[in-house]
């Protein structure tokens, strides 16, 4: 029979040792046998074969691995894939959240900078106005002093 061997490791299964009957839980090697030639009345289904070593009597033997062991393996792979997907989704969500947060913060920063810029303009304009007023008041004082003929400070308490 023409066969294709797919080696896989870490497969958990339950088989009985043909020598002493002890339960062997882990295959040393495990592979899928897929018959390439078809039988007349249909397809020969794939089956899995494991190489086992009995922990009790140390004998090694091959055994066909039942489909439940494969489904356990498949389920483990599925659980792992789901965990990886969860982590990936979590990261994607975190990244999206952070991107949105950064974008919102940048917008807020921009608007705050604009507000500061506007307030600075208002303050500069206020300062300019005050400077002009002070200059005007000094000129008024100078003119009044000249009018009164005083150069020293006036004693206001008089």
The yes or no reply on residue 22 touching Zn ion (CB under 5 A) is yes
Report the distance separating Cα 32 and Cα 27, nearest Å.
13
The yes or no reply on residue 79 touching Zn ion (CB under 5 A) is no
Near Zn ion by CB under 5 A: residue from 19, 67, 71, 118: 19
Give me the phi and psi of 29, to 5 degrees please.
Answer: -140, 155
Report the distance separating Cα 68 and Cα 103, nearest Å.
51
Rounded to a whole number of angstroms, the minimum distance from the CB of residue 63 to Zn ion is 12
- Give the nearer residue to Zn ion in terms of CB position, either 19 or 136: 19
Report the distance separating Cα 66 and Cα 13, nearest Å.
8
Among residues 33, 48, 45, the alpha carbon closest in space to that of 3 is found at 33
**60 touches 29 (CB < 8 A):** no
The yes or no reply on residue 14 touching Zn ion (CB under 5 A) is no
The yes or no reply on residue 20 touching Zn ion (CB under 5 A) is yes
Rounded to a whole number of angstroms, the minimum distance from the CB of residue 70 to Zn ion is 23
Instruction: Look up residue 91 and give its two tokens.
Output: 């990261």
Rounded to a whole number of angstroms, the minimum distance from the CB of residue 73 to Zn ion is 23
Residues touching Zn ion, count (CB under 5 A): 7
The yes or no reply on residue 55 touching Zn ion (CB under 5 A) is no
Which residues would be at the binding site for Zn ion (CB under 5 A)?
17, 19-20, 22, 54, 56-57
């Amino acid at each position: 029979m023409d066969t294709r061997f797919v080696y896989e490791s870490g497969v958990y299964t339950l088989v009985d040792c043909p020598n002493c009957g002890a339960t062997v839980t882990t295959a040393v090697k495990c592979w899928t046998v897929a018959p390439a030639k078809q039988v007349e009345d249909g397809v020969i289904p794939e089956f899995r074969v494991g190489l086992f070593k009995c922990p009790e009597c140390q004998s090694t033997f091959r055994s066909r691995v039942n489909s439940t062991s494969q489904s356990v393996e498949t389920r483990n792979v599925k659980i792992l894939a789901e965990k990886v997907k969860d982590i990936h989704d979590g990261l994607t969500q975190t990244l999206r959240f952070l991107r949105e947060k950064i974008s919102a913060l940048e917008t807020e920063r921009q608007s705050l900078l604009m507000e500061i810029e506007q307030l600075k303009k208002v303050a500069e304009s206020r300062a300019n106005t005050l400077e002009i007023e002070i200059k005007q008041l000094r000129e008024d004082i100078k003119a009044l002093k000249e009018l009164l003929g005083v150069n020293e400070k006036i004693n206001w308490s008089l």
